[in-house]
Structure 1
């Protein structure tokens, strides 16, 4: 208890002294002092303070060796304090201003990391995700032997998975909407689901979502056939059955085969397509 009695006031004094020292440097110190103090704060992990001081000196030190380092440290300070947009801005400025600088490789990599860490969840706009992929890809192209290469490549895969998930959510939304807000004979939402899913498979052929997209295409084609005017039903049911056979061939162990079979059986029962036994007899 006695220890706590003395240690808490002592800690308060230390904190107040530290704050006073920081404020004094921020307000009245020379640019050289601010620069050196910023590096000390950075080494201690006090990134917000380092960032404030570096922002004060960055323009004055521009064009000097210290200017190059201060710009890089400013990017790292913002990255570590989770101000990712500011970090990306400073890293971009660094590798643009110093294309052959001491920290250009790192700035390129951490630019990608800054965008990577600011990407939103899949259901939101993925513009930032595309920028992050571009930054990492440009880094890999420029530094193919970098120690960061493997991590950058892994981050690209993760970001691509996020784009795939966004496309899957879009495709599923189209399917769930069905004929909502549409004339029941047009099936436009089902067509949109098919196009979205086919584009995703074409762009990301090895995605783990491939079966999910394929099944959405299968179901949408059967729904589209069912909602069609009579003159188009036979053609669209035949197209849906072709999709059924493709799905069955590509995913022979799928848990969805039973439901897929029922869609096929319904088309046969309606008389728009022949059963496999009837086709074999012919």
Structure 2
């Protein structure tokens, strides 16, 4: 008896699914935009976003300026988002906000538009154009809707994207430092410039401590391998880099290595001064 009941249930579900599919195919080919609108809304509410999206794409131009136009445009944008087509979602949410800036759905549209670009943001080592777009959109949302229910998530996404951009900038500078071990002049000069910019541009970064240390290492390597005409200036700069590091991070995990670099610098300074004295 139980097996028969279960079988009847499965058959009923299958027949309902076939009927629903048949209805969708008929309405998809129908010319009645009201039928399309009703089915699209029902499918959207049921979570059938791909099917809803196809219908909404068909009818959206015909609802421009009509009472249902606002709902259609929001459903269309969100159906793109829900099915993972974030490029189109971002574009459609922008269109919605331009068309209906005072809509009750405007805060959600602004948030989801920003989140669309957040979802497109690649890993830190790749081009960060979409990351920049997402950060800009998130900042606009945060400024415009500070009391929104989405504020906590928006702030969390903005922080994550900011860290990603910081990591990219930091890794570029760190790569210069690595190359500076083998190509001492050009790459160490580039490393120092990149690290100076990073420290200036990202005062609250989690990579700031290591950036100060790497600047000391690059400055030390540059000074130790400089020509006599530039050696004193670069030794002084390296000592200044050490003092800056120790001023902020005397208890750092890099402190011991920093002290060793400083000791090596002192030897270089002593040797350089001795040579200068003999040459007079």
Fold match by TM threshold 0.5 = yes
Q: Write the distance in 1 (CA, Å) between the matches of 2:148 and 2:210.
A: 36
Aligned counterpart, 2:36:
34
- Determine which of 126, 136, 146 is the counterpart of 2:138: 136
Pairing 1:73-152 to 2, within 5 Å after superposition: 73-152=75-154
* Corresponding position of 1:55: 57
CA deviations 1:106-144 (Å, max 9, x no partner) are 211111111111111111111111111111111222223
What is the count of residue pairs matched by the alignment? 270
Structure 2 residue corresponding to 1:264, chosen from 262, 265, 278: 262
Corresponding residue for 2:22?
A: 20
Secondary structure of residue in 1 paired with 2:267: helix
Q: Say if 1:55 and 1:74, in contact at 8 Å, map to a contact too.
A: yes
Q: CA deviation at 1:42?
A: 1.0
* Structure 1 residue 18, shift from structure 2 partner: 2.5
Give ranges in structure 2 of 5+ residues lacking alignment. 273-280
Deviations 1:206-252 (A, max 9, x none): 11111121112111111111232221112111111111121112112
Q: Which has the higher mean CA deviation after the structures are superposed, 239-248 or 193-202? A: 193-202
Say if 1:69 and 1:116 are closer, same or farther in 2 by CA, change over 3 A.
same
Tell me: CA distance 1:95–1:145, structure 2 relative to 1, closer, same or farther (3 Å): same
Contact 2:235 2:269 in 1 (8 A): no
Q: Looking at secondary structure, tell me which structure has more helix per residue.
A: 2
Cα distance in 2 for residues equivalent to 1:194 and 1:17: 69
**Is 2:258 the partner of 1:244?**
no
| 1: CA distance, partners of 2:270 / 2:77 | 64
2: distance between equivalents of 1:68 and 1:197?
A: 49
Please report how far the alpha carbon of residue 2 of structure 1 lies from its aligned counterpart in structure 2 after TM superposition: 4.2
TM-score norm. by structure 2 comes to 0.89
Distance 2:24 2:141 in 1: 37
